[in-house]
Structure 1
Amino acid sequence: MTPTFPKAVLFDLDGTLLDSAPDMLATVNAMRATRGVAAMMLDELRPHVSKGSRAMIAAAFPRFDETQRDAHVPEFLDIYARELGKHAVAFPGVDALLDVLDRADVRWGIVTNKPEGLAESALLASGWTHRSGVLVGGDSLPERKPHPLPLLHAAQMIGVDPRDCVYVGDDFRDIEAARAAGMRSVIALWGYRLPGDEPMEWGGDVLVDQAADLLDPARWP
């Protein structure tokens, strides 16, 4: 049989479609500057981006305890809202991949743990707002990844059975959520990972080195 693309594809956002680490770097460096702390380098922050704002605050301010990290989340989000889209770019091959999916009439959308308002701004800056069939943010529903609810809700919104969806993400929580939702999964190895992460152990259906690999329908699970 000739390989075909999935009926529907759901993507994580940061670390999968969008290289948002430069926006995040500008955010934490603004926070550090107000405290007289030298700027971080991108390579220092990049592995933490998919783990969320608290993880990035912890990387930027290692002496903060959990309570302090939580207390600084509003400041982080406020600065990030101003920096969003100024530095971030799509990962190499992503725009071509989305074009191919559109031409193949594949329904696609985004499920992220980023707050929905910020995710909407990121889509607008990237020119994907009217192309994405659905957007589910981390605060859109009572649960967020790794819970399956956001993926199941997204599939329902685009009118596709979860078994006909493939979820693409760069974090273990993405693969956990896909498995719990009954979806096949693709591990995006081009994304953000901590040194101790072992994607081979996550249980994804396919591991892919770069987005351009997914231009070939045979590479999809």
Structure 2
Amino acid sequence: MSAAAFPRAALFDLDGTLLDSAPDMLATANRMRASRGIGAMTLEALRPHVSKGARAMLAAAFPDIAQEPREAMVPEFLAVYQEELGRHSVLFDGVADMLAALERAGSVWGIVTNKPEYLARDILPQLQWQTRCAVLIGGDTLAEKKPHPLPLQVAAERIGIDIAACVYVGDDERDIQSARAAGMSSIAALWGYRQAHEEPAQWQADVMVELPEILIEPAAWPVVQRPVGAT
């Protein structure tokens, strides 16, 4: 029997999986609320909506504004968020050690997010990831975004590793749907952003993991395709 091993490539969602960016999002929402004479909202109120994107966060921040005028607020949200980017966010505990463990094992890792690529790319130098992250696919990089399989398919193609040898890690059901549609193994990151009604057990991820530090051990990862001749 072969020993447990890390996958050849690990692909990650960004917000809610690698990066606790909710504080940046909160600062953004509260700047927009303040400019409209509305008091600040709490992190607890916004946090469950972060992985759903700007529109979901605007709905949480401005529940009394109708959908159409809220839609018009998306560019403002993104512009303010770009100014707050990285000012308050931190890596989830254990993420730095997990990525280092992957690198020591010779695995590559990358990011596939629905965040606009220019915003995701701006994060990399702040985290000193610009030479470590093997691939970055944003929500506007391609014609489709998650839960469509295309972002994961293109990410695997760009790093030159077969989809069957990759694992995708994400905290939202769309992440798992994208991986399943692409034929890629998946991990549901239970430490991320989730609304009260969501049941990760129903997402059909290959593995559910409570904390990033668990993924420091290769045995915690799904068993995936190994290179020819590997033991």
> For 1:85, what is the secondary structure of its paired residue?
coil
- Aligned match of 2:59: 58
Does residue 219 (structure 1) correspond to residue 217 (structure 2)? The answer is: no
State the secondary structure of the residue aligned to 1:168: strand
Corresponding residue of 2:134: 133
Contact 1:168 1:185 in 2 (8 A): yes
2:187 aligned counterpart, secondary structure: strand
Structure 1 residues 10-159: aligned runs within 5 Å = 10-159=11-160
Matches within 5 A, 1:157-196: 157-196=158-197
Question: Greater shift after overlay, 198-207 or 124-133?
Answer: 124-133
| TM-score normalised by structure 2 residue count | 0.95
Is the contact between residue 166 and residue 183 of structure 1 (CA under 8 Å) also seen in structure 2?
yes
What do residues 42-76 of structure 1 show as CA deviations (whole Å, max 9, x unaligned)? 11100000000000000000012221221000000
* Structure 2: gaps (5+ residues): 223-231
Structure 2 Cα separation of the partners of residues 29 and 217 of structure 1: 41
Which residue of structure 2 lines up, in the alignment, with residue 7 of structure 1?
8
The answer as to whether partners of 1:89 and 1:126 remain within 8 angstroms in 2 is: no
Aligned-pair CA distance for 1:35: 0.7
Amino acid at match of 2:198: D
SS at match of 1:150: helix
Over 4 Å off, 4+ runs: none
Query: How many Å apart are 1:186 and its aligned residue?
Result: 0.2
Partner amino acid, structure 2, of 1:54: R
Conservation of the 8 A alpha-carbon contact between 1:3 and 1:218: yes
Identity %, equivalent residues: 60
CA distance in 1, matches of 2:203, 2:65: 30
TM-align CA RMSD: 0.6
Alignment partners' CA distance in 1, 2:220 and 2:107: 15
Q: Deviation at 1:137?
A: 0.3
Secondary structure (helix, strand or coil) at the match of 1:78 reads: helix
SS at match of 1:140: coil
Matches within 5 A, 1:196-211: 196-211=197-212
Paired residue secondary structure (1:6): coil
Structure 1: gaps of 5 or more residues = none
Report the residue type matching 2:34 in the other structure.
Answer: A
Larger radius of gyration: 2
- Of 7-16 and 120-129, deviating more is 120-129
Please tell me the residue identity of whatever aligns with 2:153: L
Alpha-carbon displacement from aligned partner over 1:140-178 (angstroms, at most 9, x marks no partner): 000000000000000000001111110000000000000
The alpha carbon displacement at 1:125 in A equals 1.4
Partners of 2:140 and 2:107 in 1: CA distance: 26
The 3-state SS of whatever aligns with 1:177 is helix
State the alpha-carbon separation in 2 of the partners of residues 46 and 98 from structure 1. 24
- Which amino acid in structure 2 is aligned with residue 65 of structure 1? A
Residues 3-23 of structure 1 deviation map (CA, whole Å, 9 limit, x = unaligned): 000111100000000000000
